[in-house]
Amino acid sequence: MSKMKIATVWLDGCSGCHMSMFDMDEKLIDILEKVDLVYSPLVDAKEFPEGVDVTVIEGGVGSEEDKHMLELIRARTHMLVSYGDCAVTGNVPSLRNRFSVDDLIKRSYIENVSAHGDGGGNVPGDAVPRLLPVERPLHEVVRVDVFIPGCPPRPGLTYFMLKELLEGRMPDLKEKTRFGL
């Protein structure tokens, strides 16, 4: 039987959710024996492939590039998992939403840099993805199949979610977690 194709993606997050996956310890081996990891920050794949069974996404949608990537992933993925509070609610990156993008750029790249003595004015150019007006959780941009809360999600919860999906069941999280854990 062919292995399930799994991808993990890092959008606008801190990488803490991906780091938490490693805390599954030996259970990670149990999972990796049953899947092909076809795209991830952990593997050297340049293009997001077609026909992915499960994609686990960390982080919210903060830039035009994030939005484009998420829409591509949705079109190429059967089950999409919104993984961690930044993906599920916007969480930390959405703290910027009360400010305009212009004010954020000014504060980050002109005022704050000037305050630290190297002259300021080092505003990113066209090579850096343009920020969207507000940070958004994944489900406000595309359809999401599974929501896994946590900052980051607990390793045991991640293992449960992957195991259920691998065995063809929709993970039932009612007895496993709630927001704020």
Residues that bind ligand SF4 (CB under 6 A): 13-14, 16-17, 58-59, 84-86, 91-92, 151-152
Please identify, using beta-carbon distances, which residue of 4 and 55 lies nearer to ligand SF4: 55
DSSP 8-state code for residue 94 = G
Q: Which residues of 65-101 are buried (b: 16+ CB within 10 A; e: fewer)?
A: bbbebbeebbebbebbbbbbbbbbbbbbbbebeeeee
Cβ contact 113:45 at 8 Å: no
| Token pair listed for 129 | 């993805």
Q: Which is nearer to ligand SF4, 59 or 171 (CB)?
A: 59
CA 134, distance to chain mean position in Å, is 16
How far apart are CB 126 and ligand SF4 at their closest, in Å?
A: 27
Q: Which residues contact 1 (CB under 8 A, 6 or more apart)?
A: none
Peptide bond into 137 cis (omega under 30): no
Q: Which is nearer to ligand SF4, 53 or 135 (CB)?
A: 135
Residue placing its CB nearer to ligand SF4 in the complex, 54 or 86? 86
Comparison of 17 and 131: residue with beta carbon closer to ligand SF4:
17
The least CB distance from residue 88 to ligand SF4, in Å, is 8
